Structure 1
Amino acid sequence: MKIFIKIFTIAFLCFFILFSGLVWSFNYYMKDNHDGSGIVVRAEEEDMDNLEPEDIDILMQLVDESSRINFILLGLEGFRSDTMMFISFDPDDKQMDIVSIPRDTYYPRVGYDGPGKKKFNAVYGDHGAAGVKTAVSDLLLNVPVDHYVTVTYSGAEAIINSIGGVPVYISHLMDYEDPYDDPPLKIYFEPGNHLLNGKDGVKFLRYRKATPGSGGLSYADGDLGRIRAQQEFMKNAIKKTMSLRLPSVVTTTFRFVRTDIDLQDAIIYATMAVGMELENVNMVMLPGVARYQGGTSYFFHDLQETRDLLLQIYGYEEEETEEDVEEEIISIED
């Protein structure tokens, strides 16, 4: 019996050490390999005077009390983030809120003075995924970003294929050609219902404008129109994924992304999300307006509306005052 216990103990320790080593290696090599340099420092502070201090305090209190897990999803095009989505998941209510951040969002940084460097999609190239986490938290009034997930075009293609494609309805002719891309890019979709495989899905996500004279239509509001199309694609992909075994999908697609989420945590998060209904997935865009500054087009986010959006995500319910009740009574009587 003593010999059996001794052999079992040795075998268990060997297995534990081997398994731990494999998990450590997997988690280590899953990290984003573009570190960037320096710390993200915003060059111009937002005008905080129009935000009441108690509003910020309320938001931070809600954040502290919440069990929400926040991610930033980055779709990469070289050293720029072509797609950025802030994803907040509430495991208690099985609620997911997704806020798309326009790539042209105005975000000036100390030491980066070029017009293109003042766009949010330039942060990744200079500071890496960890730097984007910091910048997104700064943009969203210090709401924490727990994890990043980055995916390249080839990774997105593989993930779409792994779930059997994504159904979409295309309302207008898409026709765009870029012979100078590597490899040359050709996007062509007739209007109607499509089940897009990985290759075509990536093309759909990249489409923004038509080649002049091709007969195709561009999104009327440029990148903002493309974001709405991406959100619809994402929602359909989530719906498709929910019909599958979610933890299995996560472990399958995990190898196509780079992230600071450990494999063990990813499986836990996926298990928490099992049973989440599609109506509990809410997709919005960062509030703001697009306009030119110094000859360059930027998207300027609205601080007040961003605060309201975050309060809504974190479940803030404003208490009615006696004045509010009196106004409602007067309105009903009128």
Structure 2
Amino acid sequence: MKFSLRTAAAAVLASMLTVGSAHALTVYSSVDEENAKKLLDAFSEATGVDVQMVFLSSGPALSRIEAEKARPQADIWFGAPSENHILAKERGLTEAYPSPNASALRDEFKDADGFWHAIYTNPLGFGVRTDILKSRNAPVPTSWEDLKNPAYKGLIQMPSPQSSGTAYSVILTLLEERGEDGAFEYLKALNPNIQTYTQSGTAPSGALGVGETPLAIQFTPGFLKLADEGYPVEVVFPSEGVGYEVASMSILKGAQKPDEAKKLVDWMTSAEGQTALSQTKTYFLPVRTDVSGGAGVPSLDKIKLVSVKPSFAAENKQRLVERWTKDVLGQ
């Protein structure tokens, strides 16, 4: 009898938790947890929609969404580069919703049929702890080629393309600049200077902040934040040029809260939602031209940018990541 009572009590508790969560919009977020919380809290305050967030890097997020497609456990995928959302569309994992705000976005910031919309955009760059390099009598790099300097052996952190869309953007940038074979020759030559390949796209900036590494490669908001907070961090945009991410969002097919998911898409693409990028100090660049990125955030026209077609990025991702694993890691 005691076992039955305990079982019944557990069932009631589980039911209560399920009911509680059923009222919330469930978001799989591939935006870093701190900034995702800032934006989603601002969305909840503006609209009254409760949000339950689960953080997943872009690769694991896509795998989980695909694994759950028969019974989706989330309503919307928030973040990850647009090529990931193109893949999700092609695999039948998302639903079209052309937001009324889509007309304010450039073509590269939205799907023509409304399957995904951009949230923000950011360039790649280097984060440099100038104090640590100075103590080692090592120069501050100004280019991709500089990173091959033997003075940086075992000092650089960057994400792994196997789990991070950020690292895949590095590959695509180098591909555009050097050709495919040249890009992989470069990455293989850079490998001895890599301290670690992180699972998360934003982990290198965390390591930079605590002095675990003096050189980090990722999208730049984490570096801009450290510099703004007074850390001895310099943000470098390599002279050859950098790629940039277009972080996007998609409503998942079979979403339990489609109306609330549409509200998030509409709010994030509105002037109010885009202004929240700077108001909450995310250091992300807005995708609407009528909204400023705020103090300390560079405008894209001040950086040499390397553009990659999202369709190419999506179609070649598995092949290029597998080549990186083979050519660079030797696996």
Is the pair's TM-score, using the shorter chain for normalization, greater than 0.5? no
Pick 1 or 2: higher relative contact order, CA cutoff 8 A, min separation 6: 2
TM-score, normalisation: structure 2: 0.26
TM-score, normalisation: structure 1: 0.25
When Rg is computed on C-alpha atoms for both structures, the one with the higher figure is 1
